[in-house]
Amino acid sequence: MAEERHMMWTEKYRPRTLDEIRDQSEIVSRLKKFVEERSMPHCLFAGPPGTGKTTAALCLAHDLFGERFMDLFMELNASDERGIDVIRTTVKEFARAAAISEAPFKILVLDEADNMTGDAQQALRRTMERYTDTCRFILCCNYSSKIIEPIQSRCAIFRFSPLGEGDVKDFLGWIAKNEGVDITDGGLGAIARISEGDLRRAINLLQAASSLKGEIDEDSIHRLAGRIEPRYAKEILELAIKGNFSESRKRLRSLLLEKGLSPLDIIRQIHGEIFQIELQERDKLLLAEMLGEADFRISQGGDPEVQMSAFLAKLASLSSRPRG
Amino acid sequence: MRPAEQWEEKYRPSSISEIVGNKEAIGRLVEWVRKWGKDPKAKRGALIYGPPGSGKTVAVEALARDLGLDLIEVNASDDRSKGKLERMIGGAASGMSILGKGKILFLDEVDGMSPSMDSGAMDYIDELLSKANYPVILAANNAWDPKLGRIRQKCELIEFKRIGVREAVPFLKRVAEEEGIRADPEALKLLAERNRGDLRAMLKDLQTLSHPGGALTKEDVQGASRRDRTDLIFNVLKNVFSAKSCQSAKIAINEAEVDHEMLFEWIYENAPLWLSDPGDLANGMEALAKADLLFNIAKREQNWGLISYAIDLMTAGVAMAKERSRAGWVPMRFPERIALMAKTRSERAIRQRVLGRIARRCHLSRASASASVLPYVLEIARNDSKAFKGLAEWFGFDGEEIEFLKSLCGSPARRGSKEA
Q: Quick one: fold of A165-225?
A: Helicase, Ruva Protein; domain 3 (1.10.8)
User: Residue B93's pLDDT is what?
Assistant: 67
Distance from CA of B133 to the nearest CA of A (A): 46
User: Residue B414's pLDDT is what?
Assistant: 39
Sequence-ordered list of residues with C-beta below 8 angstroms from that of B81, at least 6 positions apart, any chain? B117, B118, B119, B120, B121
What backbone phi and psi angles, to 5 degrees, belong to A2? -70, 80
DSSP 8-state secondary structure symbol assigned to residue A99: P
Give yes or no for A3 touching B (CB within 8 A): no
> Residue B374: which of B352, B344, B398 has the closest Cα?
B352
The dotted CATH code for A230-318 is 1.20.272.10
Give yes or no for B339 touching A (CB within 8 A): no
Residue B230: pLDDT band by 50, 70, 90 thresholds?
low
Q: Is the pLDDT of residue A213 over 80?
A: yes
Bridge partners (DSSP) of residue A108 are: A74, A137
> In this complex, which of B281, B297, B365 lies closest to A77 when CB atoms are compared?
B365
Distance from CA of A38 to the nearest CA of B (A): 25
User: Residue B116's pLDDT is what?
Assistant: 53
What's the whole-number average pLDDT of chain B?
84
Q: Is the pLDDT of residue A324 over 70?
A: no
Cβ atoms of B318 and B267 closer than 8 Å: yes
- Which residue in B has a C-alpha nearest to residue A200's C-alpha? B372
Q: Cβ–Cβ of A79/B366 closer than 8 Å?
A: yes
Q: Is the pLDDT of residue A223 over 60?
A: yes
Provide DSSP, B71-111: EEEE-TTS---HHHHIIIIIHHHHS--TTS--EEEEE--GG
Which B positions 41-80 lie with beta carbon below 8 A of chain A? none
Q: Is the pLDDT of residue B71 over 80?
A: yes
Which A positions 201-260 lie with beta carbon below 8 A of chain B? 201, 204-205, 207-208, 210-213, 224, 227-229, 243, 245-246, 249-250, 253-254, 257-258, 260
Give per-residue burial for A215-246: e unless 16+ CB within 10 Å, then b. ebbbebbeebbeebbeebbeebbbbbbeebbb
Q: Which residues of A touch B407 (CB under 8 A)?
A: none
User: Residue B412's pLDDT is what?
Assistant: 41
Q: Is the pLDDT of residue B415 over 90?
A: no
- Which residue in A has a C-alpha nearest to residue B358's C-alpha? A8
Q: Is the pLDDT of residue B226 over 60?
A: no
Q: Is the pLDDT of residue B413 over 50?
A: no
Q: Which of A206-215, A268-277, B30-39, B229-238 has the lowest mean pLDDT?
A: B229-238
The residue type at B348 = R
Q: What sign for the dihedral angle of Cα B261, B263, B265, B267?
A: negative
CA distance B286 to B279: 11
> Residue B110: which of B88, B87, B78 has the closest Cα?
B78
Q: Is the ipTM of this complex over 0.90?
A: no
Compute how many other C-beta atoms are within 10 angstroms of the C-beta atom of residue B132.
19
pLDDT digits (tens, 9 = 90+) for B336-370: 888 888 778 888 889 999 999 999 999 998 888 98
The pLDDT of A193-221, averaged and rounded, is 94
> In this complex, which of B278, B370, B394 lies closest to A317 when CB atoms are compared?
B278
CATH superfamily for A2-159 is: P-loop containing nucleotide triphosphate hydrolases (3.40.50.300)
Rounded to two decimals, the pTM is 0.62
CA distance A52 to A160: 8
- Give me the sheet containing B136-140, strands edge to edge: B70-74, B103-107, B136-140, B45-49, B155-159
Question: Which of B281, B297, B353 has the most A C-beta neighbours within 10 Å, making it the best mutation to test the interface with A?
Answer: B281
Distance from CA of B265 to the nearest CA of A (A): 10
Q: Cβ–Cβ of A300/B285 closer than 8 Å?
A: no
The pLDDT of B233-249, averaged and rounded, is 89
pLDDT digits (tens, 9 = 90+) for B6-63: 788 889 998 999 999 999 999 999 999 988 888 777 788 999 999 888 999 999 999 9
Distance from CA of B326 to the nearest CA of A (A): 16
Compute how many other C-beta atoms are within 10 angstroms of the C-beta atom of residue A164.
12
- B91-98 contact pairs (CB < 8 A, 24+): B92/B134, B93/B128, B93/B131, B93/B132, B93/B133, B93/B134, B93/B136, B94/B131, B94/B132, B94/B133, B95/B133, B97/B70
The pLDDT of B404-409, averaged and rounded, is 88
pLDDT above 90 coverage of chain B, percent: 41
Give yes or no for A152 touching B (CB within 8 A): no
What's the whole-number average pLDDT of chain A?
89
Residue A100: pLDDT band by 50, 70, 90 thresholds?
low
pLDDT digits (tens, 9 = 90+) for A38-60: 899 999 999 999 999 999 999 99
pLDDT above 90 coverage of chain A, percent: 63
- Which residue in A has a C-alpha nearest to residue B370's C-alpha? A261
Residue B184, Cα to own-chain centre: how many angstroms? 28
> In this complex, which of A8, A50, A111 lies closest to B361 when CB atoms are compared?
A8
Q: Which residues of A touch B273 (CB under 8 A)?
A: 246
Sequence-ordered list of residues with C-beta below 8 angstroms from that of B414, at least 6 positions apart, any chain? B382
Please give the angle made by the CA atoms of B222, B7 and B202, to the nearest 5 degrees: 30
- Which residue in B has a C-alpha nearest to residue A254's C-alpha? B340
CA distance A291 to A298: 11
CA-only gyration radius of chain A, Å: 23
User: Residue A148's pLDDT is what?
Assistant: 92
Q: Which residues of B touch A244 (CB under 8 A)?
A: none
User: Residue B98's pLDDT is what?
Assistant: 54
Residue B149: pLDDT band by 50, 70, 90 thresholds?
confident
> Residue B92: which of B73, B67, B78 has the closest Cα?
B73
Cβ atoms of B233 and B199 closer than 8 Å: no
The pLDDT of B391-398, averaged and rounded, is 95
Out of A74-83, A176-185, B37-46, B138-147, the most confident range is A176-185
Question: Which of A204, A253, A293, A319 has the most B C-beta neighbours within 10 Å, making it the best mutation to test the interface with B?
Answer: A204
Residue A101: pLDDT band by 50, 70, 90 thresholds?
low
Chain region(s) in chain A for CATH 1.10.8.60: 165-225
Is the backbone of residue B53 left (phi > 0), alpha (psi -120 to 50) or beta?
left
Give yes or no for A70 touching B (CB within 8 A): no
What backbone phi and psi angles, to 5 degrees, belong to A176? -60, -40
> In this complex, which of B286, B384, B393 lies closest to A211 when CB atoms are compared?
B384
Residue A307: pLDDT band by 50, 70, 90 thresholds?
very high
User: Residue A189's pLDDT is what?
Assistant: 96
Give the residue, B221 or B410, on which the prediction is more confident. Answer: B221
pLDDT digits (tens, 9 = 90+) for A230-278: 778 889 999 999 999 999 999 999 999 888 888 888 998 899 999 988 8
CA distance A151 to B393: 40
Chain region(s) in chain A for CATH 3.40.50.300: 2-159
DSSP 8-state secondary structure symbol assigned to residue B141: S
User: Residue A238's pLDDT is what?
Assistant: 93
Cβ atoms of B366 and B356 closer than 8 Å: yes
Residue B77: pLDDT band by 50, 70, 90 thresholds?
low
Chain region(s) in chain A for CATH 1.20.272.10: 230-318
